[in-house]
Amino acid sequence: MALRYAQKWQVVLYGLLAIIKSLQAVFVAYIMQQYINFAQKPQGSLLHLLIFAVVGLFGFGIMNILYQALKAKITQDVNLKIKTIATNYMVRARDEKAKIDVSFMTNDLKQLETNRIGAELEIIFNVLQFLAAIISAVIGSWLLSLIFLIASLTPALVQKLLGPKIEAKSAVWESDNRLYTNTVNDTVNGSAMADLYDVEPSMISRLIHSAQKMETALWRTNFLKGTANETTIAVAYIFGIFIPFSFGIYLVTRGQIMLGTFMMVVQLANNFINPIVAVFSYVNDMKTAAPIWKRFKKISRFEAPETTPHDADHFKQLIVKDAGVKLGGRQIFKHVDLTIYPGKKLLLVAPSGWGKSTLLNVLTGNKTLNEGSYQIDGQDLNGKWNQAHGYFSFIQQKPFILNDTLKYNITLGRSVSEDRLKQVINAAGLTPLVSEKGLDYMLSANGANLSGGQNQRVEIARALLTNRPILIADEATSSLDNELSKRIHQTILKDFKGTVIEVAHKVSDEEKGWFDQVVKLG
């Protein structure tokens, strides 16, 4: 159940308020019985009966408001808990094949809110309403109540027949919806490319085709679910109302029960027939979300490795010896030898496609060598991400800029002293930007409101702030013009006192002269 993520006291209180809410139908049926009995045989005060009814319903109204408020609060808390679990998995899971995407975090989790959390809460209420109604009806007439009860169970046959089919259709829709979301992302990100190559009609057609496929799957799911619900309602009316209603009229005409009692049982019958119909409908909703819920349960079992973050502040020697990597049966590179010492500036030059990024992933422990060895200070770090990555900061070719403040993009939420932050900002060449805009300046997604050089300097500041001994620059200046490339290299090669490993396939001769060593790969 999704409600296991709610606080226990909330669920208990919800159950109590649901019981009170369910008794409202019993109260109304009792009042109707008293009115009919009064009409047949006036006894007591009609005004007192009216006052009792109004005060009672007013009290139920207050309790129902509290019920709705608590229901909304439970939904909010469970949603937040589920999103927290999914976010933890999204950020910490290292298996790329199991990664979750934007579609899951938005569309799929919204489906859980509507068709899982809300459905479970409604099922609890409807079950309690059913119990309150059936118990009260049995007190009035056990025989008539038994007829209504037996007849009301007939809709279960419809649910048993169509339930599995609804779940299967939902699985198809979930898959097509994920594909549609990915296609939307492709279209948004590729609009400039489409404009460049004049292929807008093809991109539009591709997205519309994906949308049509998704909408068709959704229509089939909703149509089957609607068919199941409507069939359940029709069967419920026939077997749950008309047949037992006829039997009740027969008992009244035979004098075995009073008309008021019959009307009370009929009124209550609606509240143990309708809840049954509602429960089956909510079960269908839960089946719609079943594929998503199964995936989330797998995610919820994820446990991030318990490791103590280790940011190394120094090293003595990094050695890569006779290294080789194979991926998918293809040899990426082999026979690579590197020896790196503190404070040295090393340029690795290789043609495009050689496997430079793979080599960098080996250094950070994100990839494993199939051949050779990789050590830092005599410690084997081959494929050991937790031990290896703490030695490295990273400057990428395309800086990753968050849609957040300039300060957050530099610190990534870490607690940093003002002096240290100012020092890093100055070292990265961001002082003019900070002076003009301030640290609370909101950056657009992908740094759209900054220049290319400013984005690169934000990434440099982020790397310097970490204070790790080795700075990796992966094609960090290849997309910049010559003048800006020189300024960035000035920052990371001359102003930064630590070790630099830059990987590039195109660097000017002047900039090559700033490195202590140039290693040609491939």
SS3 of 48-88: the string is HHHHHHHHHHHHHHHHHHHHHHHHHHHHHHHHHHHHHHHHH
The 3-state DSSP class for residue 426 equals: helix
The domain made up of 2-300 has a fold known as ABC transporter transmembrane region fold (1.20.1560)
Distance CA 413, CA 389 (A): 19
Tens place of pLDDT per residue across the chain (522 aa) = 778 889 999 999 999 999 999 899 888 888 888 888 787 778 888 899 899 999 999 999 999 999 999 999 999 999 899 988 888 888 877 665 567 777 788 888 888 888 889 989 999 998 998 888 888 877 877 777 777 777 766 766 776 777 788 878 888 888 888 888 888 887 887 777 666 567 778 878 888 888 898 899 889 888 888 888 888 778 777 776 777 778 778 887 887 877 777 777 777 777 776 787 788 888 888 888 888 888 888 888 887 666 555 677 788 999 999 999 998 888 888 899 999 999 999 998 888 788 888 898 899 888 899 999 999 999 999 988 888 888 998 888 788 888 889 999 888 888 889 999 998 888 888 889 999 999 999 988 788 888 888 888 888 888 888 888 999 988 777 666 777 778 778 878 877 788 999 887 777 788 888 888 988 887
Nearest to 440 by CA among 408, 483, 401: 408
Sheet holding 330-340, edge to edge: 330-340, 318-327, 371-376, 379-380
What's at 418, amino acid-wise?
E
210: left (phi over 0), alpha (psi -120 to 50) or beta: alpha
Residue range(s) occupied by CATH 3.40.50.300 in the chain:
318-520
Distance CA 361, CA 363 (A): 5
d(CA 473, CA 459) in angstroms, rounded, equals 10
pLDDT of 197: 60
Helices (H) and strands (E) in the chain, counts: 20, 9
* The two three-digit tokens of residue 399, written as one number: 């800086």
Using alpha carbons, select from 388, 383, 357 the residue that is nearest to residue 468.
Answer: 388
Distance separating alpha carbons of residues 459 and 447, to the nearest angstrom: 11
Q: What is the CA radius of gyration of the chain?
A: 34
HSE (side-chain half, CA atoms, 13 Å) at 141:
28
pLDDT at 94: 66
SS3 442: strand
Q: Rounded CA gap, 294 and 292, in Å?
A: 5
Start-to-end Cα distance in the chain: 56
What class has domain 318-520? Answer: alpha beta
Report the pLDDT value the prediction gives residue 483, as an integer from 0 to 100: 77
Contact 53, 39 (CB under 8 A): no
**Residue 15, token pair as written in the block:** 């159950």
Q: Contact at 8 Å (CB) between 145 and 238?
A: no
Burial (CB < 10 A; 0-12, 13-18, 19+), residue 2, is buried
290: Cβ contacts below 8 Å, ≥ 6 apart: 167, 170, 171
Helix (H) / strand (E) containing 349: strand 345-349
Give CA–CA dist 295/329, Å, rounded: 30
pLDDT at 32: 82
In which residue ranges of the chain is CATH 1.20.1560.10 found?
A: 2-300
Edge-first strand order for the sheet with 392-395 is: 392-395, 470-474, 499-504, 345-349, 517-520
